[in-house]
Amino acid sequence: MKLTGAQILCESLLKEGVDVLFGYPGGVVLPLFDTFPQYPALRHILVRHEQGAAHAADGYARATGKVGVCLATSGPGATNLVTGIANAHLDSVPMVAITGQVARSFIGKDAFQEVDITGITLPITKHNFLVMEAGQIAQAVKEAFYLARSGRPGPVLIDIPKDVFIEQAEFNYPAKVNLPGYNPTVQGHPAQIKKAAEMINNACQKPLIIAGRGVAISGAFNELKQLAETAHIPVITTLLGIGCFPESHTLSYGMLGMHGTAYANWAVSDADLVIAIGMRMDDRATSKFNEFAPAARIIHIDIDPAEIGKNVRVDVPIVGDIKKVLIPLIKLVKSNQHVEWIAQLDAWRKKAPMVSSRIKNSKVLLPQYVVHKIYEITRGNAIVVAGVGQNQMWAAQHFWYDQPNSFITSGGLGTMGYELPASMGVKVGCPDETVWCIAGDGGFQMTLHELATLVQDKIGVKIAILNNGCLGMVRQWQELFYQKNYVDTPLSCPDFVKLADAYGIPALRVSTSQQVVPAIKKAMATDGPFLIEFVVAPEENVYPMVPPGEALSKVLLEPEKEVHVWSQQNTP
């Protein structure tokens, strides 16, 4: 049966289980959009900017575990996807980006809206395709989805010229892929697993597990919990590992790194064995590489061999899928107790608690208080999608995550503006879940146009803007390391309540602690999207903090200080 290239693409997407695409039309993809009405099972969500499409596909993928799909036209449409593709690449998110290209006869001739998007995205994709015949589309889609979801997941791009969408060819969807050069290792080496088990059983008094996003990708939540409980090992996580181990668990000690808990960072510095699982040892987690876990032997488990030993020395490397490594490892690990070590961590937690009395009793509205009240009112039964900067760290620190994939944020790339479109994708993928978008006033202004998408497609995201009238994290660095030279960090904002009203979204402004709970409850009780602008203290900083270039042991605790009252000049 002969179909057009556009029909072949739609048929192929359905074969891969795709039910939603996030995208934006344009000239060279019009043959595809003209075909969409023939495929009602493919829901296309019209974003307001292609970057929003990429972030929405990213959020959808993280929340559901499926491959997210975004779509753009050639030229600027394609290049507008680049930030979102790079974001997915650094955070190992399975995504397929489909772009239109100028007709084959115009390629290489600087035609209108022509860019070499495969060349541009080569460093930030697992692979990409320029499909020059309609008969090659099905094979390209099959391979793209296989590459995106297998091994270490990541984004793949498919670029299709306009006339290839129109060209007809026989449609036969391939049953399997044949990629002899691509063979990721999923089973851990038995000898290495045995060596790791012996080290856990016999060679440590102060063991520590550091869990990263690889645990979530492999779905190894139960295996991680079983390992920790069997060997009685405390667990800390990376930023992207949050949610892979229940934070209410007695063996959970929060997040490590630049803004991790003090007790997690002290634990790393004092441990005699570190079991790093599905993390890439990046600088925000480890801080000073050569002083990371100085007293510890290190077991590193990761599916990507390139990540093992890249930044930090490793004593026992194990390459493989986390779940497939932990299952045989657990069988070799003996039941144990580390009572004194756990008591030490508990003492450190009591010494430096995350929720201080100042936060609980502040007379002015603090952002930490807002985040924790969202946690209390939702009882933790929500997916939180955070932006980047101070709001991201407060969301990580003050909402306790017990469920897998319940905290979603841009980690490796640190993309401001990620939160709103990503939360849109999360809600589309998980329509029965409560989704809270926690944003800063700076990042929110980068992609606020997606409010229109929320309304048009009836996507019920709840939005909390922590408005401190500045680019908060940059301002914090200027305060601490640049002699308070506040250059271009004070930030003017629109009236967010009026803005929401213009889009047809109910909204509230909250400026006192007493208003927080009623506002959150009203948002929760309202069908559809809801926006709350929380006018918070402008000079509040994120603590704990490890200064750049210092070891994790040099973590700075919150200094004693008077709470600053909100300045009138920052009031919208």
How do the domains of the chain map onto residue ranges?
A: 2-170, 190-350, 354-570
Q: Does the active-site annotation cover 569?
A: no
Residue 22 token pair: 């996030």
* Residue 514: partners with Cβ closer than 8 Å, 6 or more residues away: none
Q: Does the active-site annotation cover 473?
A: yes
d(CA 146, CA 238): 27
Phi and psi at 148, nearest 5°, equal: -65, -40
Q: Does the active-site annotation cover 323?
A: no
Which pLDDT tens digits describe the chain residue by residue (572 residues)? 899 999 999 999 999 999 999 999 999 999 999 999 999 999 999 999 999 999 999 999 999 999 999 999 999 999 999 999 999 999 999 999 999 999 999 999 999 999 999 999 999 999 999 999 999 999 999 999 999 999 999 999 999 999 999 999 999 999 999 999 999 999 999 999 999 999 999 988 999 999 999 999 999 999 999 999 999 999 999 999 999 999 999 999 999 999 999 999 999 999 999 999 999 999 999 999 999 999 999 999 999 999 999 999 999 999 999 999 999 999 999 999 999 999 999 999 999 998 777 887 888 999 999 999 999 999 999 999 999 999 999 999 999 999 999 999 999 999 999 999 999 999 999 999 999 999 999 999 999 999 999 999 999 999 999 999 999 999 999 999 999 999 999 999 999 999 999 999 999 999 999 999 999 999 999 999 999 999 999 999 999 999 999 999 999 998 865 443 333 333 32
Under CATH, to which class is 354-570 assigned? alpha beta
Tell me if 2-170 shares its fold with 190-350.
yes
Instruction: Identify whether the C-beta of residue 422 lies closer than 8 Å to the C-beta of residue 405.
Output: no
Among candidate residues 36, 113, 226, 515, the one labeled active-site is 113
d(CA 294, CA 278): 20
Q: Does the active-site annotation cover 162?
A: yes
Among candidate residues 2, 112, 133, 498, the one labeled active-site is 112
Q: Does the active-site annotation cover 112?
A: yes
Among candidate residues 66, 126, 142, 162, the one labeled active-site is 162
Amino acid 566: pLDDT? 32
Amino acid 559: pLDDT? 85
Encode 489-523: b = buried (16+ Cβ within 10 Å), e = exposed: bebebeebbebbeebebbbbbbbebebbeebbeeb
Among candidate residues 16, 22, 33, 50, the one labeled active-site is 50
Question: Could you tell me the pTM of the whole model?
Answer: 0.96
d(CA 151, CA 156): 13
Superfamily of segment(s) 2-170: Thiamin diphosphate (ThDP)-binding fold, Pyr/PP domains (3.40.50.970)
Which CATH number describes the domain made up of 190-350? Answer: 3.40.50.1220
Among candidate residues 473, 496, 530, 534, the one labeled active-site is 473
Residue type, 198: E
